[in-house]
Amino acid sequence: MHPFTQFGMVFSVASWYKGSLFFTLFILLANALVCASVKVSGDSIVPDARPHIIFLLTDDQRADALGVMGNPVIQTPHLNAMAKDGYLFRNAYVTTSICSVSRASLLSGQYMSRHKISDFSTNFTEEALANTYPMRLQKAGYHIGFIGKYGVGNRPPSDRFDFWSCWDRGQPPYWLKDGAGKDVHHTDSVERDVMRFLDEYGTQATPFCLSVSFKAPHELDGDPPVYQVQERFESLYEDISIPAQPNGGEEAWKRTPPFFHNPKNIARKRWEGLFGSEEQYQANVKNYYRLITGVDEVVGKLREKLTRLGIDDRTVIIFMGDNGFCLGNHGLEGKWFGYEESVRVPLIIYDPRKPIATPGDIQEMVLNIDIAPTILGYAQVPIPPSMQGMDLRQVALHKQPTRPDFYYEHTFMGSPGIPKVEGVIGSRYKYMIYTEHAYEELFDLDQDPYELNNIAADEVHVQRLKQMRERYALLKQAAQ
């Protein structure tokens, strides 16, 4: 005889017992319970009530590139509806505005200073990977999937996921070949994979966490870079004139740090290729918006699929951008620096269990490092001490305060291509120091929301500058 343990009870199984009807029925019942994904509480057996979780990430989408955030041009009806029924975080930021570093922060819940991924080739260590939200959810019994662009390191952990359909290294192209050799836009390819995942895992009782990373609206790198959109969106916004950026003129460019004016400045070179003329500006901002509308279409189809599967009432959806983007702001194209357009991103959390009476418009300052602990919180998985972010469920439900400011860091490449910058971003004051040049910026966002007047050298603000320097040193050390 040997012991057989299941659901907290021990049975002694003899050879004569195996042929009995009771044994057969018992095995069928045990298998059915395992397949149904049950949780055991004492002597009772209850269905797994933990929600499914879907995390949607766009690439280079700035905070105001969303209808519900006040953009009068862009068409994002499905995201608008999700924000209206869920939680809209109006002041969401990233701690480092560049793809790979921000993605590492999203997965780990850590500042770059702690996870140490500051470029495009460094991978998570085994220990660090084990503490990312997908791996911790898998250990807790979740099925996990990843679709689109992984974007961290050069050895993605594809074999660790139950479902994996990713462009493993660097930026994927916009046009891919499907199994029949036909061209498929990356956004449409992501949609197909999402539906495949849901067909397989959305019909099971075991909860899942699916991470979906779009290429859109990132430009296709080149000289000059370009935007490639689906044919069905090519005429969208055709008869609309895109308003000029309030801080996008020549005067704003003149007010940037003097070392920005080096001809090797990547942000300026890309500006010349995409936004250097009015014709370029109109064409490329529209293409940027078209790519986001394409993502919005996928969000609508995703929610329809969840409804057809009957799991829309137990699926939490989180939508965010990996970093912001300057559409000619300050005479620049791209991200990297601490400007508002670069560091602010959209963030929506849709929880179908949200109490109707709970306000969904959230003004608190939240960060990309908050996503991992929030996902773990929804899954009822303990948040490891290594994570530096917050569980945003408490902010949304109970209006728990978050933080008055945060540490910003961007150290990739360096001058003259992308000058290194660190600092403190607060709700009113912003302090940036370009560490290679010892060049300081201080902005009063209440009086100067477009960051056109650097008051760091103003004698009136000597005390404020001193306070921000001290706060910078304190937050930098705490981010380690």
pLDDT above 90 for 399: no
pLDDT confidence of residue 155: 94
Q: What is the pLDDT of residues 96-132, one digit of tens each?
A: 999 999 999 999 999 999 999 999 999 999 999 999 9
Residue 1, pLDDT > 70, answer no
Which string of b and e fits 93-131 if b means at least 16 CB within 10 Å?
Answer: bbbbbbbbbbbbbbbbbbbbbbbebbebebebeeebbeb
pLDDT digits (tens, 9 = 90+) for 402-425: 999 999 999 999 999 999 999 999
CA neighbor of 133 nearest in space, from 370, 407, 394: 370
The H helix count followed by the E strand count for the chain is 14, 21
* CB of 125 closer than 8 Å to CB of 190: no
Mean pLDDT of 206-217: 98
Measured N-to-C along each axis, helices 278-309 and 77-85 cross at an angle, to the nearest 10 degrees, of 60
pLDDT digits (tens, 9 = 90+) for 233-246: 999 999 999 999 99
Ranking 2-16, 265-279, 378-392, 393-407 by mean pLDDT, the lowest is: 2-16
State how far the Cα of 454 lies from the Cα of 205, in Å rounded to an integer.
56
Quick one: average pLDDT of 50-55? 98
User: What is the model's pTM?
Assistant: 0.90
> Rounded to the nearest 5 degrees, what angle is found at the Cα of 136, between the Cα atoms of 132 and 137?
115
Q: 49-53, 153-157, 164-168: which range is least confident on average?
A: 164-168
Please enumerate, as own/partner, the contacts of 354-362 that have beta carbons within 8 Å and a separation of 24 or more. Answer: 354/85, 354/86, 354/87, 354/396, 355/397, 358/396, 358/397, 360/83, 360/84, 360/85, 360/86, 360/87, 360/88, 360/396, 361/88, 361/90, 362/87, 362/88, 362/89, 362/90, 362/91, 362/395, 362/396
Count, residues in the chain: 480
pLDDT in the model for residue 358: 85
Please give the average per-residue pLDDT across 17-42, as a whole number.
39
The candidate with the shortest Cα–Cα distance to 212, out of 152, 146, 165, is 146
Ordered by where they begin, the domains of the chain are 2-39 (no CATH), 52-403 (3.40.720.10), 410-478 (3.30.1120)
Strands 208-213, 52-58: pairing is: parallel
Give the span between the Cα atoms of 109 and 119, in whole angstroms: 17
249 pLDDT higher than 60:
yes
**CB under 8 Å to 127, separation ≥6 — which residues?**
none
Instruction: Tell me what the pLDDT averaged over the chain comes to.
Output: 91
State yes or no: pLDDT of 29 exceeds 80: no
Rg (CA), the chain: 24
- What are 341-357's pLDDT values in tens digits? 999 999 999 999 998 88
